[in-house]
Amino acid sequence: MTANSIQSPAAEHPAPKGAGPPMASIGNLIRRPETGSFIGLVCVFVFFAIFGGESFLSVSGLASWLNIAAELGIIALPIGLLMIAGHLDLSIGSVIPASSMMVAIVSGHFGLPMPVGIACSLMLGVAVGFLNGYLIIKTDLPSFVVTLGTLFAVAGLTLGISVLVAGSTSVALKSDPISKMIFGDFINGKFEVILLWWIAAMLFVGYILGHSKYGNWILALGGDKVSARNAGIPTDKLNVALYMASGLCAAFVGMCQAILYNSAQVSAGQSFIFNSIIAVVIGGVILTGGYGSVIGIVLGTMTFAIVNQGIYYTGFDANWASLIIGVLLLAAVLLNNSFRAMAISHAAPRVKPKAAP
């Protein structure tokens, strides 16, 4: 997924005037799937730099949106892979609080060592993901319905068990210094340590989608499920693995939040459902699957986070942020559509009269 990955044949195409390598690479750059998202990000950044002024551009301004982006980004990456594969996962909205509660109850309420609480928390996410994937491949129901079901089921379970076990919907957690340092601390007093995890996730998912055979499988699965299966791709296993990854990442974020805030609530996380979808769609992934890139998803996440936090630096009422996000989403989808059309028409045949058979 590097921008300079142009093979020589690209230059043979009638590129814009002076078809040297630099011009050809600009042409190819425009046809990349994430170009639209990049333009969106720049526009949004410039807008808030103008209206938010210096405090938005300051280190703490940067930290405020990067922290939001990191939490959302870790979830948006596997959600993006799922959407490229043609699925959705709504259940993350309750996996996040469920895993927060899990680590808080195991290590806070019962006082077991932190690693045990963290492991339980992550296992919970993987288990919900496995259940989602398993139900979807066995029932062949739309993933929207299945994960909507698990969203409510897990939310109910979290509430019920928390009250039953801890007697409260909010549980305090005092983590040991090492866990705190790895998962829930600040760097330089401003940047959450989860930012580093986000970068690691980007690199890993970027490798998976862009540079491993599994990325090809995911694109093929989203492009045409039947052809993918006929080509010998283990589509069922792939689906389950993608859901487990999404459950794991949601649990990871929930666990980090509990450690960061030293407590867990049963009702945190519903906003992540739509926010992650918005970030992924702004990033150029199409809802029907088969197309998308990690760079796009990261850019979409940053765009969302800038609007979400930047509004507080502008002096506008924060309620307007939702309006901006709504408009941005529609604009991004339209922009991405036209860039995708350009990418396709780039290889279209010279105009040929088509006769009916």
Partner 1 sequence: MTAPLLQLNSVNKSFGPIDVLHDISIEVKAGEVLCLLGDNGAGKSTLIRLLSGVHKPTSGEMLMNGKPVSFENPREASDHGIATVHQFGGTFPLMSIGRSFFVGAEPTKRWGPFEVFDRKKANEIAVREMRQLGITRITDGDRLVGGLSGGERQALAIARAVHFGASVLILDEPTAALGVKEAAHVLRIVLQARKKGIAVIFITHQVTHALTVGDHFAVLIRGMKAADFRKGEKTREEVTDLMAGGEAMAGLEAEIESHLH
Binding residue for partner 1 (CB under 8 A) from 220, 245, 280, 282? 220
Q: How many residues bind partner 1 (CB under 8 A)?
A: 41
Measured distance CA(153)–CA(98) in Å, rounded: 11
293 Cβ partners below 8 Å, 6+ apart? Answer: 1, 32, 33, 34, 209, 210, 283, 284
Shortest distance, position 19 Cβ to partner 1, whole Å: 13
Binding residue for partner 1 (CB under 8 A) from 3, 13, 199, 323? 13
In the complex with partner 1, the residue whose CB is nearer, 167 or 353, is: 353
Q: Which of 214, 236, 215 is nearest to 225 (CA)?
A: 236
The piece of 35-43, 89-97, 191-199, 225-233 that touches partner 1 (CB under 8 A) is 225-233
Measured distance CA(155)–CA(149) in Å, rounded: 10
Count of Cβ atoms closer than 10 Å to residue 149 Cβ: 16
Is there a contact between 74 and 194 (Cβ–Cβ < 8 Å)? yes
Half-sphere exposure for 281 (CA within 13 Å, toward CB): 20
Shortest distance, position 156 Cβ to partner 1, whole Å: 38
Measured distance CA(6)–CA(289) in Å, rounded: 25
Measured distance CA(93)–CA(353) in Å, rounded: 52
Shortest distance, position 306 Cβ to partner 1, whole Å: 28
The piece of 37-45, 68-76, 118-126, 284-292 that touches partner 1 (CB under 8 A) is 284-292
Q: Which of 194, 176, 199, 173 is nearest to 184 (CA)?
A: 194
Measured distance CA(20)–CA(26) in Å, rounded: 10
Rule CB under 8 A: say whether 339 interacts with partner 1.
no
CA–CA distances in Å: residue 318 to residues 138, 189, 306, 311, 322: 44, 25, 13, 6, 8
Rule CB under 8 A: say whether 354 interacts with partner 1.
yes
Binding residue for partner 1 (CB under 8 A) from 4, 9, 22, 188? 9
Shortest distance, position 222 Cβ to partner 1, whole Å: 8
Rule CB under 8 A: say whether 328 interacts with partner 1.
no
Residues 229-268 that bind partner 1 (CB under 8 A): 229-233
Shortest distance, position 303 Cβ to partner 1, whole Å: 22
Rule CB under 8 A: say whether 355 interacts with partner 1.
yes
Binding residue for partner 1 (CB under 8 A) from 19, 159, 170, 340? 340
Shortest distance, position 233 Cβ to partner 1, whole Å: 5
Binding residue for partner 1 (CB under 8 A) from 4, 12, 164, 315? 12
Measured distance CA(176)–CA(179) in Å, rounded: 6
Residues 190-219 that bind partner 1 (CB under 8 A): 207, 211-213, 215-217, 219
In the complex with partner 1, the residue whose CB is nearer, 185 or 224, is: 224
In the complex with partner 1, the residue whose CB is nearer, 92 or 286, is: 286
Count of Cβ atoms closer than 10 Å to residue 348 Cβ: 9
Question: And the tokens for 295?
Answer: 């760079």
Rule CB under 8 A: say whether 138 interacts with partner 1.
no
Shortest distance, position 297 Cβ to partner 1, whole Å: 16
Measured distance CA(125)–CA(236) in Å, rounded: 19
Measured distance CA(213)–CA(282) in Å, rounded: 25
The piece of 106-114, 166-174, 221-229, 269-277 that touches partner 1 (CB under 8 A) is 221-229
Rule CB under 8 A: say whether 345 interacts with partner 1.
yes
Q: Which stretches of the chain bind partner 1, using CB under 8 A? A: 5-7, 9-10, 12-13, 207, 211-213, 215-217, 219-220, 223-224, 227-233, 286, 290-291, 340, 343-349, 352, 354-357
